[in-house]
Amino acid sequence: MRDDEVVYVETDNTGDDRYGDHQVRACLRGRSIRRRINHPDRLNYPMKRVGKRGEGKFVRISWQEALDTLADRLKSVVAQYGNEAVYINYSSGIVGGNITRSSPSASPVARLMNCYGGSLNQYGTYSTAQIACAMPYTYGSNDGNSTSDIENSKLVVMFGNNPAETRMSGGGITWYLEQARERSNARMIVIDPRYTDTAAGREDEWIPIRPGTDAALVAGIAWVLINEDLVDQPFLDKYCVGYDEKTLPAGAPANGHYKAYILGEGDDGIAKTPQWASRITGIPTERIIKLAREIGMSKPAYICQGWGPQRQANGELTARAIAMLPILTGNVGINGGNSGARESTYTITIERLPVLENPVKTAISCFTWTDAIARGPEMTASRDGVRGKEKLDVPIKFLWNYAGNTLINQHSDINKTHEILQDESKCETIVVIDNFMTSSAKYADLLLPDLMTVEQEDIIPNDYAGNMGYLIFIQPATSAKFERKPIYWILSEVAKRLGDDVHQRFTEGRTQEQWLQYLYAKMVAKDPALPAYEDLKRMGIYKRKDPNGHFVAYRDFRRDPEAHPLKTPSGKIEIYSSRLAEIAARWQLEKDEVISPLPVYASTFEGWDDPLRSQYPLQLFGFHYKARTHSSYGNVDVLQAACRQEVWINPLDAEKRGIKNGDMVRVFNQRGEVRLPAKVTPRIMPGVSAMGQGAWHDANMTGDRIDHGACMNTLTTHRPSPLAKGNPQHTNLVDIEKV
């Protein structure tokens, strides 16, 4: 520190840095955080909009005016439309916080609204909508073995899992993956359209696959496993429902089981041979056969998936399909195996700020909020996934957007979203609380400057950090500058204006520091091994390895399925889900949408075989880029310079278009156009392109709307997935031309 400014950032240097008790060394984003703290574009004062939404024209106002206006508008909307018309938008800007946490249903904004009659609920996330919805139909939950358990594996198969970028810090998964493989010498196969940094010479084999076709690959593998007697039949008989006719549930159609589907004895009559799968996936037939034999003959095998494959229009089917490989081979519930889900991680005891119960029981998918603004009362349970009642009664009229960029940047089809938000008769008030004039902040009616997490006290647990949990006691690195205020103060002041009873319920008479002391005392009562409050404050970070060793998903179920049934209706692994069969029969679906009781492969809109490819021949998907956490850090100059925003394109596709590496290109479809340099590389398969998600949208929205910031969501669709009603932001068709 010098003159109340951060001038140097150190990473964790505590302990002796051994495996299982290693130092939580910062990634490049953490190492650049001082440039974010000291950024010249920080928001400094409360402001109100004076131009059109999206123009970014604001004038400075006092906190008194900002808070009075906010409270008055909130009161007006609740009085006229009811609490169902108020919505807290999805956000992950401070997903790890406690007092500062931004996850909408767990944020201090949710606590405030629950003290004031509640707000429209939401379910799902932009990260995991499809897999979190689908896997419980198979297992009753979404658990996976810890990455450290790979030290007991003979084979690792990763479907679209890229921890080297998505979990890249010293506290993340990558370190465990490398250390565990060093101990087991497990062979690692990466299945991904892109040769990722997780592969990057550490893998034994990369198998490129067309986006959205993982379930077809699984079916082709299953055909080999069944025909070559490589399935674990005793496991399937004892622990599963719906593999074959012996365990098919009552009410299911004859030949409605998984084995019949694979062998071509089901409804479609198509045998899912490796040749069939090859045509769909783009993977050679012989490689599918070899992969099937490797999986069938290597036990234990750690088969997992990241969150990319499920972020497709058929993502629910994909997630359940990948789980079939460990199920068929009996790798579930054992050391060195896995469930087919993403890895689970260990977290130390945490007590969150209680948000209280929401009096409003109606909920929408977090991805369908723009529909709820544009056509709220038309949204129904069977067509749009409304929960808690048959239909929405009112549209969204008041929108909170705290610590998130999902208002525009991280939501699909930016041009369409812009049009919806332009109509101020629809959503009447938008409140944005943030650190910067983000793409989303430009759409605020009231824009309030928040403190960063490093500028206020909070206790934050690890997230996705392998087998070693930790707590970080954040303390202000600098004093609060200008008129920036912490979220707890902002909402406490709003609560005062909503009534003394609301203020008392919200604060319970506590300051932010007093809340931390209160919550930490409850943590220590549950977990006496934790250090005392003042000791943790002095230490800054407290680390602990999982005392139970490796986490093994469904271990107790595997040992004794009668004593430890799964949380499925049958208590077993449901390959055939009667609940999904009932939903498929009852819900309104389009012709190109599939909900199935079995984990089948289904083509989808804007997939590899959509006729639209004659116009837009390249599949486009996004990936988490090491330079950003979603869109956070997207305005840090050194990261922009080190990690350019580029579109990946295969040399064969580039040659057809006269594109050379580094050329400025336009990527476009019926929804919009972005411009950025081309990265011509064999690290992506032909017919497929990819962009790092989270770049900041930068377009003249009153002019040509060409996005020079190259935000992928200029090109993505508002249309949700069939079951989860989640974001299919990796299902897109585009073309690319040299500018």
Mean pLDDT value of segment 464-492: 92
Render the burial of 265-276: b for 16+ CB within 10 Å, e for the rest.
ebeeeebbbbeb
CB atoms within 10 A of CB 36: 20
Would you give the end-to-end CA distance of the chain in angstroms? 46
For the stretch 119-155, pLDDT in tens is 999 999 999 999 999 999 999 999 999 999 999 999 9
- Compute the distance between CA of residue 578 and CA of residue 594 in angstroms, rounded to an integer: 15
Confidence of residue 97 (pLDDT cuts 50, 70, 90): confident
- Compute the distance between CA of residue 116 and CA of residue 113 in angstroms, rounded to an integer: 5
pLDDT at 166 over 90: no
Q: Three-class SS of residue 567?
A: coil
**Burial class of residue 501 (count of CB atoms within 10 Å of its CB; 0-12, 13-18, 19+):** exposed
Mean pLDDT value of segment 486-490: 98
Going along the chain from its start, the domains and CATH numbers come out as: 40-123+354-461+483-512 (3.40.50.740), 131-346+553-586 (3.40.228.10), 611-738 (2.40.40.20)
Starting at the edge strand that comes first in sequence, how are the strands of the sheet with 301-305 ordered?
Answer: 205-207, 187-191, 155-159, 301-305
Nearest to 581 by CA among 267, 142, 277: 267
What does pLDDT average to over the chain? 96
pLDDT at 27 over 90: no
DSSP E strand boundaries for 501-644: 541-545, 573-574, 618-624
Encoding tokens for residue 175?
């370190």
Nearest to 670 by CA among 712, 738, 612: 612
Confidence at residue 250, expressed as pLDDT on a 0 to 100 scale: 94
Handedness of CA 373, 375, 376, 379 (dihedral sign): negative
For the stretch 504-530, pLDDT in tens is 999 999 999 999 999 999 999 999 999
* HSE-up (13 A, CA, CB side) for residue 709: 21
Confidence of residue 170 (pLDDT cuts 50, 70, 90): low
For the stretch 554-587, pLDDT in tens is 999 999 999 999 999 999 999 999 999 999 999 9
Beta strands 664-669 and 672-680: pairing type? antiparallel
- Compute the distance between CA of residue 623 and CA of residue 151 in angstroms, rounded to an integer: 28
Encoding tokens for residue 686?
């032909």
Mean pLDDT value of segment 322-348: 97
Handedness of CA 173, 179, 184, 186 (dihedral sign): positive
pLDDT at 171 over 70: no
Concatenated DSSP letters of 417-459:
HHHHHH-TTTS-EEEEEESB--TTGGG-SEEEEBPPGGGS-EE
CB atoms within 10 A of CB 722: 27
For the stretch 240-263, pLDDT in tens is 999 999 999 999 999 999 999 999
Q: Please tell me the pTM assigned to this model.
A: 0.97
Q: Long-range contact list for 588-597, CB < 8 A, 24+ apart?
A: 588/380, 588/382, 588/383, 589/722, 593/722, 594/314, 594/317, 594/722, 595/316, 595/722, 595/723, 596/317, 597/242, 597/252, 597/256
Confidence of residue 463 (pLDDT cuts 50, 70, 90): confident
pLDDT at 82 over 80: yes
Nearest to 149 by CA among 319, 342, 343, 347: 343
Ramachandran assignment for 480, one of left (phi > 0), alpha (psi -120 to 50 degrees), beta (any other)? beta
Q: What share of the chain is helix, strand, coil (3-state, %, to 5)?
A: 35, 15, 50
Distances (CA, A) of 379 to 90, 374, 375, 408: 19, 10, 7, 22
Q: Which of 287-296, 300-309, 540-549 has the lowest mean pLDDT?
A: 540-549
Helices 500-507, 487-498: inter-axial angle, 10-degree rounding: 150
Beta strands 732-738 and 573-574: pairing type? unpaired
pLDDT at 19 over 80: no
Q: Three-class SS of residue 362?
A: coil
User: Is 539 within 8 Å of 533 (Cβ atoms)?
Assistant: no
Q: Three-class SS of residue 187?
A: strand
- Compute the distance between CA of residue 101 and CA of residue 114 in angstroms, rounded to an integer: 16
User: Which run of H or E residues covers position 47?
Assistant: strand 47-49
User: Is 510 within 8 Å of 127 (Cβ atoms)?
Assistant: no
Q: Report the share of the chain in percent with pLDDT over 90.
A: 89
